Structures are given as C-alpha cells and as structure tokens.
C-alpha cells in the first residue's frame, strides 16, 4: 500500500526544480519558504512573510522575496556536492504531509571512488511561528573524508527572478552580525522601511567542528565549519533558523537573536515534536478520508495541507494571496479567491482562522473607502487585487494569450468582489453565530459596500430599473459588459441582507446600530434607496427559458465548439479562433452564472441548475484553476456524475500535474480550496437550508468505497461517514440536521445511521 500521507518524486530532474519549489513549499501562515533545493543552482528561491509588501521599481506593490537563509553548501574533500554535476543515485524527495516535514535522500558520486550519502529534512514550525530548521545526515561511503559545511543567508534575492524584464529589488541589507554561534542579517524594505531580521546557526550533533568561521560577504553572510568523518561514519548537522520583522516587533533584531538562542537551547527534536503534534491535531479534525482511490486521497491531502499552511490566525491584518505563501504569482495579492473559495474551508474547519481573514477586510476598510472615493463614489469599494492597505494594486498592463501587451481592466471594473466579501461575512456569521464580529465589524463593511453600490448602480428612468454597466463578471473573457447576471444578482442580495441586518440590529442591538449609523451618517433615505435598488435592479432571468443570459447581449455572440483537450484533459482553443477577439464569442473563462447558482442554490429550481450547467459547461475553457471544482460540484447536483468526478480529479491535480502550466509561480490556493469544497459540498452534499439546518446528501462515485469528513457548524463538530449502503453521522452537541430528505435530531456523541435507498 502506498503511503497516503507522502507526496514524493523519485527522480532528480533539474528542470522540475522551479515547479517543485511550489510543490514542496513549507509555510505556517506567518512565513513561507519555497521548496528550495540546496544542492542545485537551478532554483527560484522564495522566502516570504505575510504582509510584507513593497513597490520600489515594480509596476505595483508586491509581496517581497526576502533574503534566502536556506543556502547550504556541502564540500567533500574539496568537491562541492552538486546534483546538476555529480552522478546522482537513488534520489527521492518527499513531503510528509502528516507531520509537515520536507525530506530528501540521495547518493552522489562526487568523483570516482568517492560516494556520499545525504539525508536531509526541513520544517517551518507550526508551534513557534518565527522558527524553522533543517537537519543534514552526511555519510562518506568509500573512505575517510573532510566535510565542509557552508551555511549562508543570501541578501541578493529579487522578485520576478523568472522574468528578467520585471526584476525588482525590494530591500537593502543594513547590517550583519556574528552571533557566536550563528549569524544574523538585517534588511530594510525600500518604501515602508520594514525591518526584517534573520538568523541561522549550524551545530554538529555529538561532535564539534574543527573550525567554525564567520564571514561578512557584503550581500551574503556566511558561517562555515569543517569536520573529518571516518569511512561509513554519519555526520549530523542541525541548521536552526529564526526570523522577526518590525511588523510585529519593536526591535526585530533583538527578538530574532533571542529567538534563535532559545531555539538552540530547546533543541531540534523538541521543536519538531511539538510542530508534528500540532499538524497531527489539525489532521485529526480536518482530514478527509477517501477509500477506494489512492490518487484522490493523496492529492486531496496535498491540497488541504498547502491551503492550511497559508493561514495565520494571530495577525488580523494579513490574508491569503492567490498564490498563497508559495510564490510571487499575482504579486502576492489578495483576490475574491480568498472569500469565495478559501474562506468556506476555514469557516467549517477552523472558524478562528476564518475570523482573522475577515478581519483583514475590516482592517483594510479605509483602503476600500479610498478606492471608492478615487473613483467618484461613497462607501467602500474593495480592491480587485489588494496588498497590505486595501488600495487597488491591480497592474494596468499585462500580456494576453498571444503574449502581446494588453490593458488589464479587472482593477477598474471587476467590482463584484465587494459583494463577494459581504456574502462571505454572512456565511461566516450563519455558521458561527459570532455576534461580536458581525455587529462590531461585519455590519460596518456591509453598510459601506451598500453605499458604494448606490453610486455604482445607475437608474434607467425610461425602464424604471437600476442597472450596473461596464463590468467584468467572474468570466474575464468578457469586458465592459452591462448587467452581468452574477454581479447584479449579488448586489440585489447584498441590499436585501443589509436591510435584514439593520432590522435585526434595531430590535436586538440598537446601541450598536446607533453607533454605526452615526459614524457612517446613514439615514432613512439611504435605506429607502437600498430597498428600491434591491427591488428594481435588472436581473436577466426570463420566464420563457430556464437558461439565464450571462450579461446583456451574450446570446448574440459568436458560437465556437470545444472539440479537443490536452494531455491533462483541459480544453484546447477551438480551431479558427482569434484569441484577441474572445470578447465577441460565447466562450467563457470560468463559471459565471453557474458560480452564482452554486453560492445560492436555494434561489434556483432544479431545472434551472441543470439547464444552465449544461449550457455553460460546454462553452467553458477552464482557463482559471477556479473552474473545474465548481463544475464538479454542480455536476453532482444535476446528475452529471461522470464528468463531475473527472473535474474533481483535474482540480486536485492542478498543481501536482501543473495543468495550468504556471505552478512554478506559486500554489493555486483557490483550487486547493475548491478541492475541499468538491469533497464536502459535492461528494458530501453539505449545505445549509433556509431553516439554518446542516444538510447532507452524500454521493459516492462507483469506484470509491467510502468517504469520511467533518465540519464545524454552530460551535459543534459534525462527523460524517458514508459508503454505498449507509450514512453515519455524529455531533458534539444536540442539534437537528437533515440527511437527504429526513430531518434527524442528533444527540451529543451518539452515532445516527441512515440507510441509503438505491
């Protein structure tokens, strides 16, 4: 049986190092370290701290690639161990997902008659977020050998290292220090002068280095030591690391020095044990177990591992970028991906993390207000791409599918994100009943977003309707469209829910409502406008057909048939298509109408769900990693189970098989979240009904044996197991749930079994 907790590669291929930097990334939400391979120069190192952004000479503000502390050169008898030059024997690199440890093992023939065996491991601590460490076990197999270990913090890293035209340096090294033992480098970002202190130290186990030397190499700081090993003797070297920044410390260098001293005193094994315990605790509550398909099981765990690694509940001023803490794709910016795709995972597994992510939106509310003001509106307009302050950071220019310069309009007109955030706030509140968050923070966001929409919507006097024109919906192939169904419907819903919230606060929390109304200068006139827009906004939904027009004029566009797929099963461009004219075709990038239906399935009939799925699915190019998971879930809802399972497999293999072709730039974090949603919302049939009951309508693919998962709802963990015969469900407290059409009263800790009618 394969190890279902291990993701591994068995051959060393240097060209894969870029992609593997993402696949073997380690993070703890505070910091992320790409899966840098110390024994190759063929790398794209990445070291990131959540929330540290800088612009300098870049087109826009971007997540800073900080000094790389992972450099570790090992020399044997004067020969550097180099996987790209040496003869490599028995190579394996693996990610222990159960314990959060990256491992590598190989034998290299440095020269004839001189073979060296190396085993290494690395972890980024989940216990103490400022710590990371490596362990190297090195054995001279053929004769006595002199080993030199050279540990370096490299202060010459840049952003966009993969693209020479966009290289940017975002910091300057301000000082280095010999810590005796260890070394420290302090860097300062160019714009906001954020200080980052990094320290590392190498220590031998049960031996001492013959010599241990400190070297200031200007943009590098080095610690080097040598030791003689007998034939067959294994030398073990620990590398301890610590990092602090002035974002969380008034004296980063002092705290960093103190941290690494404490880490060395605690010891490598003690820290690793605590780190592993926390990972195992996470898996005990958040694992999804699939019997019958080992590939699906391992790949699903891979996605859950990396997604959970991106979150940090100790800092409510940071969120998760579209590429996680795994790379520089999309400049490290935060999109709608976080609330619409990632947040449900955290709401229903780790609600405290979900709250911190939503607090990021509250803490950047002033930036959203500034965006609205600069565009001529009141209220809050959330940025399509957001960094540390909430201001719009979308680049104005990029490259199209023909690699030609193209104007990027998403930052100007893909405005649905403001209501996406409102939707996520209500979903969090429904699941957690966190009144403190909703009435102190969430309500202010919601009301300010409504004020923005009152300006962005336009009243058509001739038709007595409200319209929202010149937008981009979730389908980004079509720009400057009028009355996008997704956008308009979500705006209508936003106003409706805001008015409901206002009534609830008026009756139950009048003092809090009074505070917000006074602060925002809200009047009865504002509420009257909100209701008017909600009642009269144009919704492209016609009685004579179940198919909903994505936006005005969509049905008149040119039809193309998708007839072929690539080696990963992803659609290929139809023959004869001019990629510069996608705007004039019915081809779509990702679900749009279908996306809204997934968010609000109770608003649509079964016939509408099925008709729109069938219509838009055959026109979708899946040029976004967000797409396959959503079609998988909807496929299960409408009975297209064969395609639904195929979409699920594409989703969970997005980065593993690099089916979007850009995994080297970082994790497709929303796709990882989509993998969880597909397993829980799709296979598990999890939803919340109009009476706020947790509902489960599981479906199991024929070649699967069983699935087991859990969700947290209303402060109770609900565990669900099902196979082809039965559903077994338990809850931590008494609560009413619905399994298929049957309403069940669960008693705390007592299993309830429901037989499946075939």
The catalytic residue positions are 476
Within 13 Å, how many C-alpha atoms sit on residue 493's CB side? 22
Query: CB–CB of 328/159 below 8 Å?
Result: yes
d(CA 168, CA 171): 9
Q: Tokens at residue 174, please?
A: 């301000």
d(CA 201, CA 223): 8
d(CA 196, CA 173): 9
Per the listing, tokens 């049960």 go with 206
From residue 286, how far is each of 300, 308, 637, 712 by CA, in Å?
Answer: 12, 10, 24, 10
292: helix, strand or coil? coil
Q: Which helix (H) or strand (E) holds 276?
A: helix 268-286
The terminus-to-terminus CA distance of the chain in angstroms comes to: 31
Q: Are strands 87-96 and 101-111 parallel, antiparallel or unpaired?
A: antiparallel
Q: Tokens at residue 481, please?
A: 């469209």
Q: Among candidates 358, 377, 344, 535, which has minimal Cα distance to 450?
A: 377
Per the listing, tokens 């003689």 go with 228
d(CA 95, CA 104): 9
Q: Among candidates 543, 510, 23, which has minimal Cα distance to 309?
A: 23
Query: CB–CB of 636/682 below 8 Å?
Result: yes
d(CA 131, CA 271): 9
Q: Among candidates 306, 377, 323, which has minimal Cα distance to 65?
A: 323
Q: Among candidates 110, 163, 162, which has minimal Cα distance to 141?
A: 110
| Helices 443-456, 485-508: crossing angle, 10 deg rounding | 140
Per the listing, tokens 């209508």 go with 492
Q: Tokens at residue 297, please?
A: 């099981």
Q: What are phi and psi of 312, to 5 degrees?
A: -145, 105
Q: Which helix (H) or strand (E) holds 137?
A: strand 131-140
In sequence order, the 6+-apart residues with CB closer than 8 A to the CB of 689 are 602, 695, 738
Q: Tokens at residue 320, please?
A: 């998760």
d(CA 199, CA 179): 8
């Amino acid at each position: 049986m394969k190890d279902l907790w291990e993701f591994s590669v068995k051959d060393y291929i240097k060209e894969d190092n870029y992609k593997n930097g993402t696949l073997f990334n380690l993070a703890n939400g505070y910091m992320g370290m790409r899966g840098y391979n110390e024994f190759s120069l063929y790398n794209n190192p990445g070291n990131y701290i959540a929330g540290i952004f800088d612009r300098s000479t870049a087109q826009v503000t971007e997540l800073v690639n900080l000094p790389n502390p992972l450099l570790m050169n090992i020399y044997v008898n004067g020969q550097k161990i180099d996987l790209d030059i040496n003869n490599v024997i028995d190579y394996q690199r693996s990610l222990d997902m159960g314990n959060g440890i990256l491992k590598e093992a190989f034998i290299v023939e440095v020269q004839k008659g001189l073979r060296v065996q190396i085993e290494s491991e690395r972890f980024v601590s989940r216990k103490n977020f400022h710590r990371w460490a490596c362990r190297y076990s090195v054995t001279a197999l053929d004769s006595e050998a002199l080993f030199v270990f050279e540990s370096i913090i490299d202060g010459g890293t840049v952003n966009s290292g993969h693209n020479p035209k966009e290289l940017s340096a975002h910091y300057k090294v301000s000082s280095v220090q010999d810590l005796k033992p260890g070394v420290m480098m302090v860097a300062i970002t160019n714009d906001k002068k954020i200080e980052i202190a990094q320290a590392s130290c190498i220590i031998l186990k049960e031996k001492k280095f013959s010599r241990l030397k400190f070297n200031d190499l200007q943009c590098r700081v080095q610690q080097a030591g040598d030791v003689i090993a007998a034939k067959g003797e294994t030398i073990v070297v620990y590398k301890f690391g610590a990092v602090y920044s002035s974002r969380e410390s008034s004296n980063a260098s002092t705290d960093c020095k103190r941290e690494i001293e404490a880490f060395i005193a605690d010891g490598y094994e003690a820290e690793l044990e605590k780190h592993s315990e926390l990972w195992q605790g996470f898996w005990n509550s958040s694992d999804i177990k699939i019997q019958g398909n080992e590939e699906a099981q391992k790949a699903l765990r891979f996605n859950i591992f990396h997604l959970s690694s991106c979150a940090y509940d100790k800092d409510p001023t940071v969120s998760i970028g579209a590429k996680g803490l795994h790379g520089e794709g999309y400049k490290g910016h935060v999109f709608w991906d976080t609330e619409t795709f990632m947040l449900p995972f955290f709401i229903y597994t780790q609600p405290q993390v979900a709250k911190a992510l939503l607090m990021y939106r509250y803490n950047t509310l002033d930036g959203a207000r500034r965006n609205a003001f600069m565009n001529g509106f009141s209220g809050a307009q959330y940025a399509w791409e957001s960094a540390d302050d909430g201001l719009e950071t979308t680049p104005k220019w990029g490259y199209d599918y023909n690699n030609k310069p193209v104007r990027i309009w998403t930052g100007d007109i893909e405005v649905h994100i403001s209501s996406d955030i409102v939707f996520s706030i209500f979903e969090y509140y429904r699941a957690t009943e966190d009144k403190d968050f909703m009435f102190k923070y969430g309500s202010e966001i919601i009301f300010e977003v409504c004020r923005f929409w009152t300006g962005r919507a336009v009243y058509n006097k001739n038709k007595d309707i409200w319209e929202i024109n010149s937008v981009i919906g979730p389908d980004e192939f079509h720009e400057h469209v009028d009355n996008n169904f997704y956008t308009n419907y979500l705006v209508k819903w936003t106003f409706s829910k805001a008015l409901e919230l206002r009534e609830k606060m008026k009756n139950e929390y009048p003092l809090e409502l009074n505070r917000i109304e006074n602060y925002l200068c809200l009047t009865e006139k504002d509420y009257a406008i909100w209701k008017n827009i909600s009642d009269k906004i144009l919704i492209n939904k016609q009685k004579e057909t179940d198919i909903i027009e994505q936006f005005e004029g969509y049905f008149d566009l040119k039809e193309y048939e998708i007839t072929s797929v690539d080696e990963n099963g992803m659609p290929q461009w139809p023959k004869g298509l001019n990629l510069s004219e996608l705007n004039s075709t019915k081809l779509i990038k990702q679900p749009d109408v279908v996306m809204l239906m997934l968010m609000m399935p109770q608003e649509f009939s079964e016939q509408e769900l099925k008709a729109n799925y069938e219509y838009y699915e055959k026109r979708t190019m899946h040029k976004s990693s967000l797409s396959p998971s959503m079609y998988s879930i909807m496929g299960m809802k409408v009975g297209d189970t064969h395609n639904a399972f195929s979409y699920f497999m594409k989703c969970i293999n997005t980065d593993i098989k690099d089916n979007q072709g850009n995994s080297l730039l970082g994790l497709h974090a929303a796709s990882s979240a989509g993998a969880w949603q597909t397993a829980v919302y799709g296979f598990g049939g999890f939803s919340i009904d109009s009476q706020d009951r947790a509902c489960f309508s599981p479906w199991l693919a024929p070649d699967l044996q069983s699935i087991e998962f859990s969700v947290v709802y209303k402060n109770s963990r609900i565990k669900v197991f099902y196979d082809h015969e039965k559903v077994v469900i338990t809850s931590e407290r008494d609560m009413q749930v619905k399994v298929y059409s049957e309403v069940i009263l669960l008693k705390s800790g007592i299993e309830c079994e429901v037989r499946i009618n075939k």
